[in-house]
Amino acid sequence: MANWDWQVFCKNTIDGEVIPRCLGSGGDITYLDWMLSAWGWTLSVALLALVVALLLGSLMGILRTVPHKGLVFLGNAWTELFRNIPLLVQVFLWYHVLPALVPVLKGVPSFVLVVFALGFFTSARIAEQVKAGIQSLPKGQRYAGLAMGFTLPQTYRYVILPMAFRIVIPPLTSESMNIIKNSSVAFAVSIAELTMFAMQAQEETSRGIEIYLAVSGLYFISAFSINRIALFIEQRVQVPGMIGGSK
Amino acid sequence: MNKTFALALALAAATGAAHAEDTLKKIKDSGSVTMGVRESSGALSYTLGDGKYVGYHVEICQHVLADVQKQLGLAKLEIKYQPVTSQNRIPLVQNGTVDIECGSTTNNLTRQKDVAFAVTTFVEEVRIAVKANSGITSIGQLNGKNVATTTGTTSVQTLRKHERATGVDFKEVFGKDHADSFLLLESGRADAFVMDGAILAGNIAKSKSPADYKLVGEVLSVEPIAIMMRKDDPAFKKAVDDSIKAMMKSGEIAKTWHKWFEQPIPPANTKVGMPPNDNTKAAWANPNDKPMEDYAKK
C-alpha cells in the first residue's frame, strides 16, 4: 500500500541529492549521518543522566531509611519534589527559569542542564525503589549487623545494601530503559537527538513514515540493549533463595 | 450470510472509489466537506477555542466552499473542521480524511508528488527578528551568534543552506515551537530568531513590549503558501482555483488580507501589522501554483 522510499536516508541535507555511498564526505551530511549523530546525542544524554540518577537516587533512597529524622526528611523532600513535577516542565525550569534566577547558569550548555533535569527526575523514582528494597529486608538483618559491632554505615555497606540492590535490579532496569525513552524531551532545549531529528527530517523530506520507523527502531535497540545488560548483571549477582535466584 | 458479505464488499468498493478521486461528487453526495485547519498558524489559520477556526486561509476556504456549494446546487453544505499538524496534514489529505487543507502549507516539489496545491495565496518570506537595541542589521553580523529557529520547520534547512553558502558560522538553538523560540530571543539565549515573517510579526505583536523587537536584514528564503488538496482531481482543483482567482481579480483577497494582517484580530484584538509583500502582490496579480523551487531560481 505505502510506497516506501528508503533512499531518503542517503539524501544530502543541503540540496536533497542522493549520495551514492549513503554517507556524506567533505562537509556533506546525509540524513543517515545526521540520524547516527542524533542517536549518539540520545545515548549520551540518557547514559549520563542515568549515572546522575543512580548515584543521587541511591543516596536519597538510603537517607530515607536511616534512623535520623533530618536526613529522612531530606530524602523524602527530594523524592516528592522531583517526582511531582512533569519532566518537560522540569526541563524548562532548568533551561529558562533557573538561569533567570541564577545568572551563572546562563553559561552552562543546555546538554548539561538536560542531563541534570533528567537525572534528578529519575533519581526521585530510583530513591523510591531503593527505599522499598531496603525496607523489604527483615529488620533482623540491620540489628544483626549492628550487634556484630558494625557502625551504621558499615551495616549498610556490608549487610543491607548488597541485599537491597539485588532486589531492586528489576525495577532499576525499567528506570534505565525509561531514561532512554525520556531523553526524547531533550529536543525541547535544542539537543539534536533522535526525536528532534525525526521531527525536522520528516518536515524536510516529507517521508515521515520511513523516518519515524527508523527512529523507533533505534529507540528500541537502545532500550532493549539496556534491558539485556541489566538481565546479565541480575543473573551474575543473584543469590540462591532470593527473589529470582532460585536456580 | 453470503449476501451480507457481498453487500459489504460492494459498499467498501463504492466508498473506496468515492474518496479515491472525485471530491466534488463526494461533497454532493454527502452534503458535507472536511476542512483541515491549524490550531495556531498565526493569522493564517488558528482556533478561538470551542471548535471555532478563523484566519486568512480559513476565510478564503469558506469562500471557496460557498462557491463549490453554488456550483453543485446544494441547498446546504456542512463544513466539518479537522485540526491538522505539520506531521499529519499530508497523510490526512492523501487518505481522504481532509478534503481541503487551509493551514500554512508550503508548496514544494516533494509535496507535489503526494498532493495538489491551489494557486498561491500568500508568498511567505523567511526573515530575521532581533532585539531592537542589538545593532544587528543583517545575517552577516550573526557570525558566532546564537540563532534560534523552530524544530520541524523549513527555516532550519534554510539556515543550514545559508550557513553553507555564505560561510557565516552561527550557533543554532532550536525551540520546541514558535513560542519557545521567541522565548529564546526574549531571554537572551538567542541573538536572533529566523522564521517566516508572518510568524515573527505575530509573535512580536503578542510580546510584552513589541517595540523592543524588529525585523531586519535580507529575505533568506521565499515560500509560496497554498491551500492543499488531493492529487489527481482536476475538477475539484479547477473549482478551488477559479474561486480563488475570482477573489484575486475582484480585490476581495486584498480585503481579506487587510482584515487578518493589518487590523486587530480576535481573541486579544492585537494587530499583526504586516502589509502584503511584493511577492504576494505579484502572486495575486498573476495567479499561479508554482512550487518553492521556482522562486529560488530567480
Taking contacts as CB-CB distances below 8 angstroms, the residues of chain A near B151 are 187, 190, 196, 199-200
**Bridge partner residues of B124 (DSSP):** B223
- Are B152 and A200 an interchain contact pair (Cβ–Cβ within 8 Å)? yes
| Average pLDDT across chain A, whole number | 92
- What is the rounded CA–CA span in Å between residue B106 and residue B154? 9
At A207 the three-state DSSP class reads: coil
Whether B211 and B250 map to the same domain: the answer is no
User: CB contact, 8 Å: A196 with chain B?
Assistant: yes
Whether B32 and B104 map to the same domain: the answer is yes
For residue A201, the chain B residue with the least C-alpha distance is: B152
pLDDT of residue A246: 47
CA distances from B9 to B4, B13, B14, B15, B30 (A): 8, 6, 9, 10, 20
- What is the rounded CA–CA span in Å between residue A34 and residue A9? 9
* A 94-133 → B contacts, CB under 8 A: 96, 99-100, 106, 110
Residue of A18, A199, A202 to mutate when probing chain B, most B C-beta within 10 A: A199
Say how many residues make up chain B: 298
Whether B115 and B47 map to the same domain: the answer is yes
**Domain-located, residue B251:** yes
Whether B80 and B151 map to the same domain: the answer is no
Whether B43 and B101 map to the same domain: the answer is yes
pLDDT of residue A213 exceeding 70: yes
Task: Decide: B213 and B133 in contact? Cβ < 8 Å.
Answer: no
CA distances from B136 to A43, A105, B142, B149, B179 (A): 37, 25, 8, 17, 22
Taking contacts as CB-CB distances below 8 angstroms, the residues of chain A near B87 are 199, 202, 208
Whether B34 and B181 map to the same domain: the answer is no
- Mean pLDDT for the stretch of residues B81-103: 92
Question: Which of B86, B114, B151 comes nearest A187 by C-beta?
Answer: B151
pLDDT of residue B298: 55
When pLDDT is cut at 50, 70 and 90, the band that residue B168 belongs to is confident
pLDDT of residue B191: 96
Q: A212 vs chain B: nearest CA distance in angstroms?
A: 11
Question: Which of A100, A192, A204 comes nearest B154 by C-beta?
Answer: A204
- Are A206 and B187 an interchain contact pair (Cβ–Cβ within 8 Å)? no
The alpha carbon of A173 is separated from its chain's Cα centroid by a whole number of angstroms, namely: 10
- What is the rounded CA–CA span in Å between residue A70 and residue A47? 31
**Domain-located, residue B280:** yes
- What is the rounded CA–CA span in Å between residue B171 and residue B163? 10
User: Which is more confidently placed, B101 or A28?
Assistant: B101
> Among B176, B196, B222, which residue terminates a domain?
B222
For residue A162, the surrounding DSSP H or E stretch is helix A161-182
- What is the rounded CA–CA span in Å between residue B191 and residue B145? 6
CATH topology classification for A33-196+219-237: MetI-like fold (1.10.3720)
Whether B59 and B106 map to the same domain: the answer is yes
pLDDT of residue A244: 54
Pick from B124, B123, B147, B121: nearest CA to B134: B147
Phi, psi of B36 (to 5 degrees): -80, 130
When pLDDT is cut at 50, 70 and 90, the band that residue B288 belongs to is very high
- Are A188 and B160 an interchain contact pair (Cβ–Cβ within 8 Å)? no
For B56-73, what is each residue's pLDDT tens digit?
999 999 999 999 999 999
Q: A186 vs chain B: nearest CA distance in angstroms?
A: 10
For residue B164, the chain A residue with the least C-alpha distance is: A14
> Domain coordinates of chain A in residue numbers?
33-196+219-237
Question: Which of A14, A96, A204 comes nearest B183 by C-beta?
Answer: A96
pLDDT of residue A168: 93
User: CB contact, 8 Å: A12 with chain B?
Assistant: no
Q: A225 vs chain B: nearest CA distance in angstroms?
A: 29
Which residues does B3 contact at the CB level (< 8 Å), separation at least 6? none
When pLDDT is cut at 50, 70 and 90, the band that residue B202 belongs to is confident
pLDDT of residue B20 exceeding 60: no
> What percent of chain B has pLDDT above 70?
92
What is the number of CB-based contacts under 8 A between chain A and chain B?
51
pLDDT of residue B205: 85
Number of domains making up chain B: 2
> Among B199, B222, B245, which residue terminates a domain?
B222
Question: Which of A27, A96, A200 comes nearest B156 by C-beta?
Answer: A200
pLDDT of residue B127: 93
- Are A200 and B151 an interchain contact pair (Cβ–Cβ within 8 Å)? yes
Out of A105-109, A133-137, A242-246, B109-113, which region has the weakest mean confidence (pLDDT)?
A242-246
Q: What angle do CA B195, B109, B168 make, to 5 degrees?
A: 40
> Among B222, B257, B285, which residue terminates a domain?
B222
pLDDT of residue B272: 87
Taking contacts as CB-CB distances below 8 angstroms, the residues of chain A near B187 are 96, 99-100
Task: Decide: B130 and B216 in contact? Cβ < 8 Å.
Answer: yes
**Domain-located, residue B13:** no
CA distances from B38 to A152, B45, B48, B86 (A): 61, 5, 11, 9
First to last CA, chain B: 64
For A122-164, what is each residue's pLDDT tens digit?
999 999 999 999 999 999 999 999 999 999 999 999 999 999 9
**CATH assignment at residue B104:** 3.40.190.10
When pLDDT is cut at 50, 70 and 90, the band that residue B4 belongs to is low
Task: Decide: B231 and B115 in contact? Cβ < 8 Å.
Answer: yes
- What is the rounded CA–CA span in Å between residue A156 and residue B18? 72
For residue A207, the chain B residue with the least C-alpha distance is: B110
Taking contacts as CB-CB distances below 8 angstroms, the residues of chain B near A187 are 151, 174, 176
- Are B151 and A14 an interchain contact pair (Cβ–Cβ within 8 Å)? no
Model pTM? Answer: 0.81
- Are B164 and A14 an interchain contact pair (Cβ–Cβ within 8 Å)? yes
Taking contacts as CB-CB distances below 8 angstroms, the residues of chain A near B175 are 190
pLDDT of residue A62 exceeding 80: yes
pLDDT of residue B33 exceeding 50: yes
When pLDDT is cut at 50, 70 and 90, the band that residue B1 belongs to is very low
Out of A92-101, B49-58, B75-84, B266-275, which region has the weakest mean confidence (pLDDT)?
B266-275
Pick from A15, A14, A13: nearest CA to A34: A13
**Domain-located, residue B8:** no
Phi, psi of B283 (to 5 degrees): -65, -30
Phi, psi of A151 (to 5 degrees): -75, 175
Strand segments (E) across chain B: 32-37, 40-41, 45-49, 52-54, 78-83, 100-106, 115-117, 122-131, 146-150, 171-175, 192-196, 213-230
When pLDDT is cut at 50, 70 and 90, the band that residue B243 belongs to is very high
Q: What angle do CA A95, A101, A102 make, to 5 degrees?
A: 85
pLDDT of residue A106: 86
> What percent of chain A has pLDDT above 70?
96
- Are B160 and A14 an interchain contact pair (Cβ–Cβ within 8 Å)? yes
**Bridge partner residues of B215 (DSSP):** B129
Which residues does A176 contact at the CB level (< 8 Å), separation at least 6? A50, A226, A230
Residue-wise over A121-148: b if at least 16 C-beta within 10 A, else e? Answer: bbbbbbbbbbbbbbeebeeeebeebeee
When pLDDT is cut at 50, 70 and 90, the band that residue B21 belongs to is low
When pLDDT is cut at 50, 70 and 90, the band that residue B14 belongs to is very low
pLDDT of residue B6: 53
Task: Provide the ipTM.
Answer: 0.83
At B54 the three-state DSSP class reads: strand
DSSP of B122-162: EEEEEEEEEEGGG---SGGGGTTSEEEEETTSHHHHHHHHH
pLDDT of residue A247: 44
For residue B111, the surrounding DSSP H or E stretch is helix B109-112
Name the burial class of residue B207, with classes exposed (0-12), middle (13-18) and buried (19+) by CB atoms within 10 angstroms of its CB.
Answer: middle
| Owning domain of residue B116 | 22-123+224-296
Whether B136 and B193 map to the same domain: the answer is yes
